[in-house]
Amino acid sequence: MQGHNIFKAQSIHSRGTFIAKLQLIKPGEKRPREKWRNFTEWFNWVIMETGVYDYRYPVKGAYVWRPYGMKIRRLVESYVRLVHDETGHQEVLFPVFIPYEFFSKESEHIRGFENEVFWVSKGGAGEERLILRPTSETAMMPMFKLWIKDHTDLPFRVYQIVSVFRAETKATRPMIRLREISMFKEAHTAHANREDAERQVREAVEIYKKIFDYLGIPYLISQRLSGINSLGRFTR
């Protein structure tokens, strides 16, 4: 198509709204896409220029969601909550602190996260050993034991949207590799038998397909070789 006129899109901010503006690209003029050969460079430029995110916060792997980005987040969170609520999941909010005793009971979990855990090394004059939540299985299961009194309480399904923390030592990337993942959605369930647990896994796949389809995000569905962990719970 050499010699033909084409158009390029430019994002303009006006009264709190981003508007796409088409500009004529003259024959022989460099196309915008040729400027961005490096995906990370392009991605960082987009989230900064649109006012979504700011990665200049002086802590490695911790970034700032700006007002426009928070509006996007709230819309996504609202849809995630809607899909889970309408399928019988109940929202909870667990503390960010997890006692070391809870965490240490699951040796398999420690092997997976021990090098990524942030430890609370000091808190006043006390010596309580705490970690910052890397994920919530070890915190939730002891509470499940208190809440589930009888088989009539099953299936028991909860979810939460929270911050989790990973002590990333490699190069961090805005929104991609973080130390604080501030929009971590996790669902945890308990069931009376294997059949119902397997049904839940299939339903979970449909839930996440619905979310990703709504957001226009491509995905690949895979199956873990170990569908049940060491405590007899399905993982997803």
Q: Which domains does the chain have, with CATH numbers?
A: 6-54 (no CATH), 66-215 (3.30.930.10)
How do residues 169-203 score in pLDDT, each as one tens digit?
788 899 989 999 999 999 999 999 999 999 999 99
Complete DSSP assignment for 41-103: HHHHHHHHHTTSEE---SSTT--EE-HHHHHHHHHHHHHHHHHHHTTT-EE----SEEEHHHH
Looking at residue 7, what is its pLDDT? Answer: 39
Looking at residue 164, what is its pLDDT? Answer: 95
21 by DSSP, 3-state: which? strand
Looking at residue 169, what is its pLDDT? Answer: 77
How do residues 206-220 score in pLDDT, each as one tens digit?
999 999 999 999 999
Please state the rounded mean pLDDT for residues 82-95.
97
Looking at residue 235, what is its pLDDT? Answer: 43
| % of the chain at pLDDT higher than 70 | 76
Q: Which of 123, 76, 133, 55 is CA-nearest to residue 100?
A: 133
Band of pLDDT at residue 91, cut at 50, 70 and 90: very high
Band of pLDDT at residue 31, cut at 50, 70 and 90: low
